[in-house]
A = this chain, B = another copy of it.
Amino acid sequence: MAFELSETSLGVTEGGMPESLQGARFVAGDWGTTAARFWLCDEEGNALDAREGAGVATLGGGQEACAAAFDRVTDGWPTVPAMLCGMIGGNIGWREAGYVGAPLPVSDLGRGAVRFEHAGRTVSILPGMRCVNPYGERDVMRGEETQIAGGCAIEGMRDGLFALPGTHNKWIRVEDGRLASFHTAISGELFAALSKNSVLVAPDSAPPHPGKAFDEGVRLSLRHGANNLLGLLFASRVRQVEKTLAREDGASFLSGLIVGADVAGALPQFSDDAPVNLICSDALAASYGRALELAGRASRALSGGDCARRGLALAFARVS
């Protein structure tokens, strides 16, 4: 657990609470599968303190483990209500919070939250979202909806396209102030599975990085739309055998192929030409930003932490 602010650096009042925390109104928590972020917020949603915690999947499961982890991470914070989103509301979390269906007006974030009392606080957990995606399949997300709602508030946006690249990339369409629909592309998981368990990437390849090989992979996928990634992937192998691709660049080329197919599959679903809003790590923002640029589309990177906190503040204002 890494704290962004050291507790010892905060001035402490006579009553035991640091002066700087006295305007605290609620605890905001973006509590995902593998990582968690918490903020102590004032009534405008500004962070008075920020901490990181363990993801739900690392806690071993069960309500008691989640409660204990919450107590550890909020130790020393005032006993104010908490508003949480993410996998903490899933079936391995603290309380199962279900799903709300799309479309959902951004201003409705907070609807359907599960509320319960814990150690003198009211804890609210936001539901996930589900929809029928553009392929006609049911799709789900949990936590991303809060980041998108926050991003829309920060940017004053009523229409736009968001991507949250990662293990399971969520592409979310915002239309007329509503989270309209979304789909999940398993880009990150596919790259991980193929880069470690196939002949496409040699063991001595460098990690994926922007550059010529990445661009070539992106361009190849873009040239074929999202068509037949199955038939394109073998190019990683042939190019290495024929030495037109260096073995050390194998992972970058494969990454480009997959990111390019992901972008090529998503863009036609949204006719607007506004910049795509990316919420992800800096490295993934660089990759997706470059692939979008090669597809002729602008993008901008938003801070996932800022978006989540703002979304949680919106939900807190609605339910309290």
Contact = CB atoms under 8 A, between A and B. Distances in A.
Interface of A: 133-140, 168, 183-187, 189-190, 192-194, 196-200, 220, 223-235, 238-239, 241-242, 244, 258, 261-262, 265-266
B190 A230 contact: yes
Given A189-B199, A198-B189, A225 B227 contact: yes
Contacts of A265: 227-228, 230-231
Contacts of A186: 198, 200, 230, 233-234
What is the oligomeric copy number? 2
A230 B197 contact: no
Contact of A228 (B193, B198, B226, B235): B226
Given A229-B230, A261-B228, A265-B228, A136 B194 contact: no
B139 A238 contact: yes
Contacts of A187: 230
A206 B230 CA distance: 24
A120 to B, nearest CB: 34
Contacts of A266: 231
A56 B118 CA distance: 64
A224 B140 contact: no
Contacts of A232: 135, 137
Contact of A231 (B185, B197, B199, B200): B185
Central interface residue in A133, A196, A234, A266, by most chain B CB within 10 Å? A234
Contacts of A196: 193, 197
Contacts of A136: 223
A184 B135 contact: no
Contacts of A231: 133-135, 183-185, 226, 265-266
Contacts of A190: 194, 198, 230, 233
A231 B184 CA distance: 6
Given A140-B238, A185-B234, A226 B227 contact: yes
Contact of A226 (B135, B200, B230, B242): B230
14 contacts: A135-B228, A135-B231, A137-B232, A137-B238, A138-B238, A183-B234, A184-B231, A185-B228, A186-B234, A190-B198, A193-B193, A193-B196, A197-B197, A227-B265
